[in-house]
Structure 1
Amino acid sequence: MCGRLSQYRGIHDFVDALSMPNALVNTVGDEPLNRYNLPPTSMAAVLRCEGVHLLAADVRWGWKPNWDKGTARRINARVEKVAHGPYFRQIWPHRALAAIDGWFEWVADPDDPKHKQPYLIRLKNGEPIFCASIGQFSPPHAEPAADDGFVILTADAEGGMVDIHDRRPVVLAPDLAEEWLSHDTPKERAEEIALLQGCPVQCFEWFKVDKAVGNVRNGGPWRPLE
């Protein structure tokens, strides 16, 4: 999975699609997010359960344990290892959803070797995408701590999406997304959901978009190519 997200709906659109009964605590505002081209370490809207409430908050995309002094924040975690490996052990219990509209991947362009062609990947039905995530989070309405952040779980892309990439986010249908977030879901069940019940490749579509999205300063809407 490449490190670029698209998150432009309003938070209420994501919450409505999730259909959870929990009262919403919204700290990101009511307007459309309009984040068409989010790179790593950006603040992204994330959903998680905080007590009996569903909390929507901006969290930095990327995390590493404080004992890791030599690498950049990681933005993804392999679902095959995340539950039992030492690196993400402290945040595995802290489940969340990165609520997005799509993500970008790049492939070599045979007609333009100096540049890669970006593709946008999204659900065929156009619905919001709920990416299984884990992270370190501050309490609601508190100033984010320097170590706060989240990572998106990724799985094998089953041969790749039009040979774009061999990994993809673990995307959960709304009912499974709700179960993933619930404090009542045991860790073993959460691992099963992430490993075995993510949306299959057949649920997605992808198409070329304007190469301008390669510039992170281009924060406006992406344009599909004919």
Structure 2
Amino acid sequence: MCGRLSQYRGIHDFVAALNIPNALINYAGERPFEFYNAAPPAQLALFHQEGQFLRADMVRWGWRPTWAMDRAASIKARVDRIAHNPFFRAIWPHRAIIAIDNWFEWVDEGGPKKQPYLIRRKDRAPILCTAIGQYPHAEHQPDAHDGFVFISADSKGGMVAIHDWQPVTLSPELAREWLNPATPEKRAEQIMLLHWEPTEAFEWFKVDRPVGDIRNQQSSVINPISDPFV
């Protein structure tokens, strides 16, 4: 998974995709986000469950523990290592969902520059990605050390022509179980290791190279310049 994505819909579109009936505690705003070309350390809308409520906050993409401030912040963590990695020990219990519209990858196709691809769901629904982090909640006010990381996994070969790692994405049912504080840690680990969505749920296509400039936040960066690959 590369460090670039889109999160352009509004918070209620993502809540509808999660299909959680309980009230929303919304600190992310009501307007569409319109992040077409987001990169770390962008502030993105992150969901977690607080008691019986779903809560949304704007949280920095990227995190590191306070004892590792001399190291670069991580933006993702490998699914096969995260539960037992000392670097992420403090945030492993703090499960979250980052809902996105698509992500980007760059592929070396032999030209002078790598070719960017956009990856999205075939049904165009929001992509519900597993994450862990340090974020605001009832007992923790916003902090300069807040941040989150995606959980990423081997793409099982189906998307290997684009990239060999992808975010661990879940169905709405499993995303709700992942978010639920009552879900035991062992079950959460099982969900992220075994039950993520298959490559067949996605399609990808070439987009134009201006997406490589993170200053370019125009909606045109998500326009295809090829037919979808599946």
Please say which of residues 152-161 and 188-197 is displaced more in the overlay.
152-161
Contact 2:119 2:203 in 1 (8 A): yes
Report the alpha carbon displacement of residue 144 of structure 1 after superposing the two structures with TM.
2.6
Deviations 1:163-193 (A, max 9, x none): 1211100000000000000011000000000
Q: Does 1:137 align with 2:132?
A: no
Q: d(CA) in 2 for partners of 1:225 and 1:144?
A: 41
Post-superposition, which runs of at least 4 consecutive aligned residues in structure 1 deviate over 4 A?
140-143
Partner SS for 2:98: strand
Q: How many residues align?
A: 224
Report the alpha carbon displacement of residue 143 of structure 1 after superposing the two structures with TM.
5.9
Partner SS for 1:188: helix
Which of 106, 115, 118 aligns to 1:117? It is 115
Matched residue type, 2:205 = F
> What residue in structure 1 maps to residue 199 of structure 2?
201
Deviations 1:131-165 (A, max 9, x none): 00000012369863111000000010112515121
Partner SS for 2:115: strand
Partner SS for 1:147: coil
> What residue in structure 2 maps to residue 70 of structure 1?
70
> What residue in structure 2 maps to residue 175 of structure 1?
173
Computed over aligned residues only, the root mean square deviation of the Cα atoms, in angstroms, reads 1.5
Report the alpha carbon displacement of residue 27 of structure 1 after superposing the two structures with TM.
1.2
> What residue in structure 2 maps to residue 153 of structure 1?
151
Q: d(CA) in 1 for partners of 2:218 and 2:129?
A: 23
> What residue in structure 1 maps to residue 106 of structure 2?
106
Contact 2:57 2:136 in 1 (8 A): no
Contact 1:98 1:133 in 2 (8 A): yes
Contact 1:64 1:72 in 2 (8 A): yes
- 1:1-226 aligned within 5 A: 1-110=1-110, 112-113=111-112, 115-139=113-137, 144-159=142-157, 161=159, 163-221=161-219, 222=221, 223-226=223-226
Structure with higher helix content: 2
TM normalised by structure 2 equals: 0.93
Q: d(CA) in 2 for partners of 1:47 and 1:85?
A: 23
Deviations 1:39-74 (A, max 9, x none): 011101111111221011100000011111332110
Contact 1:47 1:98 in 2 (8 A): yes
Contact 1:55 1:140 in 2 (8 A): no
Contact 2:128 2:170 in 1 (8 A): yes
Stretches of structure 1 that go unaligned for 5 or more consecutive residues are: none
Report the alpha carbon displacement of residue 85 of structure 1 after superposing the two structures with TM.
1.6
Q: d(CA) in 1 for partners of 2:172 and 2:72?
A: 32
Q: d(CA) in 1 for partners of 2:160 and 2:188?
A: 29
Stretches of structure 2 that go unaligned for 5 or more consecutive residues are: none
Q: d(CA) in 2 for partners of 1:63 and 1:160?
A: 29
Q: d(CA) in 2 for partners of 1:69 and 1:39?
A: 20
